[in-house]
Structure 1
């Protein structure tokens, strides 16, 4: 099938191992979903592959990627993964690994320029090593994990952060950050941790004065954190941030 550019395998039972190493010399997109018995997947020799979708395979615990120099998008949610290496995908821009409930280890290529990582509903206790490879990161969704500390001070372009429902006691963002959404509620952030976070946030130009029909607003939520009642909300008011209760 040398001319095939897209490959879709969906809703198949009885297949425990899938080897695509000889099927995709010219394939640009792969869609593998709802294979009830799939445990192991190998994808290699797909040098033109740009998009990978692997989802809703509850028994899938092993994925091996060959060299895919052009792959920019990976959607790999609702599987049974506990670890995953993406070192052979240097062109990745968008990664969605959400709802792999056992996933606690992820390896990235250090040369990637990743824009978005979605890992909500996994089992990460730390993502420090992941963030070291993500200086260009703009969106991070890591809610419903087991994180106790999150340091995004090296991610100067971050504009969307969802880290609610963890165990965070420290949350650090780049100085002067303007995040359109910063949801950090339902953590363990005390008064000092929240005030430090507020001090780090950037000043928002008053939209009522300068932009009467402004489309861009900057919102933060921190309810159900231990310091929510005693923190200094005036810092946010003075910076024109909108406080939401989630």
Structure 2
């Protein structure tokens, strides 16, 4: 305890040898950070320093959306388990002393680097919408949720993160993403990158896949039988086999090069967006749960349905395309 007090006093207190009455504690330079701590009851309005004893008892801290530019002083919160400092103006963040941290939300800031080498207990990380060019998470073996979308990442290594359930890495500059060692993943958002291939064969738990706006020419989903949502639009797919995805409810495959699409085994399909392809025929007669359909800008002459009452008002097709009952 004495060592911590000496560290905080020396690091955060102004140098004034003659002032022997200066209380031990951490001075917060950012006024918005200080005001957030006051509102949280951690310090009082007249306090000039943070009480070390009170800080040590804090395990959760939410200072999101407070226009904070510096979190200097956060190093003192050594027992912090959950920190939300999202939607601020942070350019740096030092969490090296927060070794108990399990949840960190620092999204929507201006961070260009993030050192997590001391945060081995981290389970949830949200660093979306920053300016990160690299992100090292290989030491975070307990990580279950990683959200690092809307950055400038060119590579991302999650091989050691075998507990991952949620991975959001959309809107980066990734050319590849290796997830063969992440069998527990249920949600994968890797859209708006530069992916030319995507291998999900070792991800049998996958429920939601967002891989749109990439450069994919093929996509094998035969091992992903739990999939409920697929968005593979805006790629270069010539074919798409969803016969093994019998739990599928929402499919968006618009803006590809598909000449055929078989949905006969997808009895739970609720929404289908397949416009701007090269489809010459479409049979949705088995998709009796279908509520939304858009299939414009294809080469369709006929959409086969179970009855002429099956089409919903929300279905959208070209005027030249007709509905017909499959004989």
| The two structures share one fold, judged by TM-score above 0.5 | yes
Give SS of 1:187's match: coil
Count of matched residue pairs: 218
Give 2:240's match in structure 1, choosing from 135, 145, 150.
150
Deviations 1:137-181 (A, max 9, x none): 111011111111111011111111011111111212352623110
2:251 is matched with which residue?
Answer: 161
2:287 is matched with which residue?
Answer: 202
CA RMSD for the aligned pairs? 2.4
Deviations 1:64-84 (A, max 9, x none): 114223321111111111110
Structure with higher Rg: it is: 2
2:158 is matched with which residue?
Answer: 65
Give 1:220's match in structure 2, choosing from 269, 293, 298.
293
Give SS of 1:151's match: coil
Shift in Å at residue 89 of structure 1? 1.7
Give SS of 1:91's match: coil
**Counterparts of 2:127 and 2:118 in 1: how far apart (Å)?**
14
The yes-or-no answer on 1:12 pairing with 2:97 is no
Structure-2 change in CA distance of 1:239 and 1:73 (3 Å) = farther
Structure 1 unaligned segments of length 5 or more: list them.
205-216
Deviations 1:37-62 (A, max 9, x none): x333221232321211001113x110
Give the number of the structure with larger relative contact order, counting CA–CA contacts within 8 Å between residues 6 or more apart. Answer: 1
2:217 is matched with which residue?
Answer: 125
Give SS of 1:225's match: coil
**Counterparts of 2:266 and 2:227 in 1: how far apart (Å)?**
16
After TM superposition, the score normalised by the length of structure 2 is 0.60
1:231 is matched with which residue?
Answer: 302
Q: Is the 8 A contact 2:243 2:266 kept in 1?
A: no
Higher fraction of strand: 1
**Counterparts of 1:19 and 1:64 in 2: how far apart (Å)?**
15
Q: Is the 8 A contact 1:135 1:154 kept in 2?
A: yes
After TM superposition, the score normalised by the length of structure 1 is 0.78
Shift in Å at residue 88 of structure 1? 2.4
1:211 is matched with which residue?
Answer: none
Q: Is the 8 A contact 2:263 2:284 kept in 1?
A: no
2:197 is matched with which residue?
Answer: 105
Structure-2 change in CA distance of 1:176 and 1:35 (3 Å) = closer
Structure-2 change in CA distance of 1:223 and 1:14 (3 Å) = closer
Give 2:141's match in structure 1, choosing from 30, 41, 47.
47
Structure 2 unaligned segments of length 5 or more: list them.
1-97, 318-327
The yes-or-no answer on 1:74 pairing with 2:167 is yes
1:56 is matched with which residue?
Answer: 150
**Counterparts of 1:85 and 1:167 in 2: how far apart (Å)?**
25
Q: Is the 8 A contact 2:264 2:284 kept in 1?
A: no
The yes-or-no answer on 1:91 pairing with 2:190 is no
